[in-house]
Amino acid sequence: MAAGLAVCAAAALLDGCRGQRTQAPQRLQVGVACYNQSDTFISELTDSFREQLGGEEYKELAPTVTLKDAAGLQRTQDDQVKELIDEGCNVLCVNLVDRTDPSEIIELARESGVPIIFFNREPVNEDMMQWSGLYYVGADAEQSGVMQGELAADAIKADSRIDRNKDGKIQYVVLEGEAGHQDAILRTEKVADTLKKEGVELEKLGSGVANWNRAQAENRMTQMIGQYQNQIELVLANNDAMALGAIDAYEKLNITKATFPIFLGIDGTDEGLKAVEDSKMAGTVYNDKEGQAAAMAELAAALASGEGMDEIAFENERCIYLPYAKITKENVDAFR
Ligand code: GAL
Ligand code: CA
């Protein structure tokens, strides 16, 4: 019965009857499939999503959220999506393991008429075009790289001691997120471009992939310190967890603070904000998890109830991108 209603609501919606309620609003049963719940940013994002759906505004829909963790395996996630549909979810929120491989999930959802809100790991456009019941909520990756570059340039211009060997260039390393992830690719590219545009002369010493993960970043950083000794003046990490892993490496090697490079992250996770506040990180870029969670909640509610779709500002018809923001010690309080 519930599944039948879900199909009807979704079908009515997709037929273009947006905003017109043809029946009493049904319950909102959201199935959330995460690529890896041990990812700090993702777990903070899904916590915020649950919390916001529990708010007064959605009370009428009596929302429930069932969360499944694929722990990094696409096959597992495909099975979990099937389970979520079988359990009667009428909206799916999917954080793909492999963003280039959503076909199986799209097929399952389309067959049962359950719309999907992809989030954080963006499918390619070709896949988004496979069905009109597919949506995406995320952020503009390019902007985060630009902002990180601006933060780094500001710090370097404000403090001549950062160029420790006084050669007029900044020796740097990059800690990268997963290979093939839209955020890792664009952040890595844009941060260096922006620093150059800002007139900072750069010398890239090396880089390491650490898959968004603090422990892996500590390992990579320890290796790079072994290789480049005290030459590293700047560490650009694709996210806060990896910037913190890099700091862990320096701290565990008992390197004197005066020869630390500066560290920049992205996300503004709880521990990232703390590191900015404590001046361990020179800055970070806010990846607006509250805004993304709010957009997901609003969209999920609209999809289930058939109401409010008109009020949502989509880009490219079915995508929502939240803006990033720069964070330094000066404004960090506003993000806590
Ligand atoms: C990024 C975020 C990373 C990681 C990744 C997972 O947007 O900055 O910390 O969570 O998503 O897909
Ligand atoms: Ca230098």
The percent of residues in the chain predicted with pLDDT above 90, rounded, is 92
Residue 266 CA: nearest ligand 1 atom is 8
> Ligand 2 centre and the CA of 299: distance in Å?
48
Q: What is the pTM of this model?
A: 0.92
- The model's pLDDT over 39-96, given as tens digits with 9 standing for 90+, comes to 999 999 999 999 999 999 999 999 999 999 999 999 999 999 999 999 999 999 999 9
Residue 121 CA: nearest ligand 1 atom is 12
Model confidence at 4: pLDDT above 70: no
Mean pLDDT, all residues of the chain = 94
- The model's pLDDT over 289-316, given as tens digits with 9 standing for 90+, comes to 999 999 999 999 999 999 999 999 999 9
Query: Is any atom of ligand 1 closer than 6 Å to the C-beta of 121?
Result: yes
Where does the pLDDT of residue 159 fall: very low under 50, low under 70, confident under 90, or very high at 90 and above?
very high
- The model's pLDDT over 103-138, given as tens digits with 9 standing for 90+, comes to 999 999 999 999 999 999 999 999 999 999 999 999
**SS3 state at 71:** coil
Q: Which of 96, 98, 191, 239 to mutate to test the pocket of ligand 1 (most atoms within 8 A of CB)?
A: 239
| Ligand nearest to the Cα of 180, by number | 1
Query: Is any atom of ligand 1 closer than 6 Å to the C-beta of 120?
Result: yes
> Ligand 1 centre and the CA of 182: distance in Å?
10
Where does the pLDDT of residue 26 fall: very low under 50, low under 70, confident under 90, or very high at 90 and above?
confident
| Ligand nearest to the Cα of 230, by number | 2
Phi, psi of 168 (to 5 degrees): 80, 0
Task: State how far the alpha carbon of 80 is from the alpha carbons of 35, 87, 98, 122, 189, in Å.
Answer: 11, 10, 14, 19, 34
- Range name among 16-20, 156-160, 269-273, 276-280 with the lowest pLDDT average: 16-20
